[in-house]
Structure 1
């Protein structure tokens, strides 16, 4: 049962962490496009995400300690927690993640929406995303490839968070659209077009770092036999979902964004559906990754 809770808490942390980086970053690089729009909802979303992470991270630390100590009663003992926090990189990363989440919650509550708030939250989001690599398979690689794999894992987590946070922003922008508001439609269209460069960079980073990570976790000799292990099966599912997300992103950029500028009424129904599907795919990928984190990769078998 503890293993199940570890997976659930890991998934919650991934989703909250993605919002805490991707959403404020979106507010920064899309400031000109979305400046005239009412985006007060973003502050509430960040408050909830920070609060969820501030609760989930220490809960996950306790669950991980319980799994290693053998029981929850052993995990709550000071000696067990102290060993996990001071003696293991996983524990240290979770403490850093918890502190960053608490600071993000304070910033979202106390600062006014603006460049200072978005910049501060983006910085904290980067720390949170980087901390995921320290609690994943990337940190377990030994030898000369340790630094390469760890850096690749960090870049992978950051790129994914930037993409998912932007998806959340677009989804809310579409759902909260005031009826017949041409300025709102124009702002959405501009932000979709403006995201092209950021989105392309995120996809490129995900592909390159995904290949690097797979080289360490799967290995070339086992690339054609992924179906022989649960980790490999989940990796294939993740890749298929990622491919669908890339296809939908291309649809948004090259078809629906230009259509929004010409005929928002025609584009909006299609945009709502495709954004909803893409966001669901993103959350599904996070769930798959949460399960993969509990499984040994083929290279370790």
Structure 2
């Protein structure tokens, strides 16, 4: 039960933090605030920021409860104030969770107080970056020492941020495509512009994920455990994650090279209905795959990597 709570807490935090960082960031580079359809998208993105921040804060609370239960050996002790305080203030894990919770609560307050604007997106993206980076101090990336340990930590942070860019953009794009109506040409054009805005960024994100993923795998697997990695639970979950990641790559390529040009042509023909439907299906599947990756990553973090065995 405790292990399940740990995975759930990580899942909620990862999903919330990635959206909190990537969605407002996507709005900054993918959809100018003064463009057609921006007003409606701004309101939707503001709600998305608030929901992401709230989810992250809730996940932080669950994480503290789960970690306390693991350290005390009893789920009932997770509600003990003294034990909770010890974990929150006396461990590196607690410091990471508290920094994440603070950043997410500040983002939630800003989303409630500020109107949709470039300033809000910048502040939310910055706070989202803090929440994502803080995971590196409570995971395997913080285990190393010296220059190699620092290099490993930086690679882990960059990997987390790159994943957040992709997953947050998916959430924002899905929000846009679900809200687009073929009768409102301005909204459809805004969606097309957003898709084109993400295309170049997406290529850089994929390259960064692959490179930093290789670095992290080198440290977590180790040169002496490469062949034996797939025989461990960690290796099996990692392999499943890579398969889902490959599916996401295929769907992203489909969106960029086929569905986005198809939507542009459909706009010129004044008949975007079928192109919109295809995009909705593709983005829905890609988003589901992204959520599956987050689930697998949440599970992966509870398993011992081959290099630690």
Same fold (TM over 0.5): yes
Q: Does 1:270 align with 2:270?
A: no
Q: Work out the CA distance in 2 between the residues paired with 1:275 and 1:31.
A: 17
Q: Work out the CA distance in 1 between the residues paired with 2:181 and 2:34.
A: 14
The corresponding residue for 1:20 is 20
Between stretches 191-200 and 109-118, larger displacement belongs to 191-200
The CA deviation string for residues 235-283 of structure 1, in whole angstroms up to 9 with x for no partner, is 1111111111111111111111111111123322221111111100000
The corresponding residue for 1:214 is 217
The corresponding residue for 2:191 is 188
The CA deviation string for residues 139-160 of structure 1, in whole angstroms up to 9 with x for no partner, is 1234542111111111111110
Q: What aligned pairs does 1:30-109 form with structure 2 within 5 A after superposition?
A: 30-32=30-32, 35-37=35-37, 38-39=40-41, 40-109=43-112
Secondary structure of residue in 1 paired with 2:32:
helix
> Per-residue deviation at 1:82?
3.6
TM-score by length of 2: 0.93
Between stretches 62-71 and 234-243, larger displacement belongs to 62-71
> Per-residue deviation at 1:34?
7.7
> Per-residue deviation at 1:33?
8.0
Q: 1:166 aligns with which of 164, 169, 181?
A: 169
The corresponding residue for 1:281 is 289
Q: Work out the CA distance in 1 between the residues paired with 2:285 and 2:208.
A: 22
Q: 2:243 aligns with which of 225, 237, 240?
A: 240
Q: 1:297 aligns with which of 290, 294, 305?
A: 305
Two-structure CA RMSD over aligned residues (Å): 1.6
The CA deviation string for residues 91-113 of structure 1, in whole angstroms up to 9 with x for no partner, is 10000011111101101100000
Following superposition, which runs of at least 4 residues in structure 1 exceed 6 angstroms of deviation? none
Preserved contact between residue 163 and residue 209 of structure 2 (Cα < 8 Å): yes
1:133/1:103 CA distance change after superposition, 3 Å? same
Between stretches 224-233 and 234-243, larger displacement belongs to 224-233
TM-score by length of 1: 0.95
> Per-residue deviation at 1:78?
4.6
Preserved contact between residue 108 and residue 117 of structure 1 (Cα < 8 Å): yes
Ranges in structure 2 where 5+ consecutive residues have no aligned partner: 267-271
> Per-residue deviation at 1:124?
0.2
The CA deviation string for residues 143-183 of structure 1, in whole angstroms up to 9 with x for no partner, is 54211111111111111011011111111211111232222
Secondary structure of residue in 2 paired with 1:223:
coil
The CA deviation string for residues 2-30 of structure 1, in whole angstroms up to 9 with x for no partner, is 11101111101111111100111011112
> Per-residue deviation at 1:121?
0.3
The corresponding residue for 2:258 is 255
Ranges in structure 1 where 5+ consecutive residues have no aligned partner: none
Preserved contact between residue 103 and residue 130 of structure 2 (Cα < 8 Å): yes
> Per-residue deviation at 1:119?
0.5
Secondary structure of residue in 2 paired with 1:288:
helix
Q: Work out the CA distance in 2 between the residues paired with 1:73 and 1:265.
A: 54
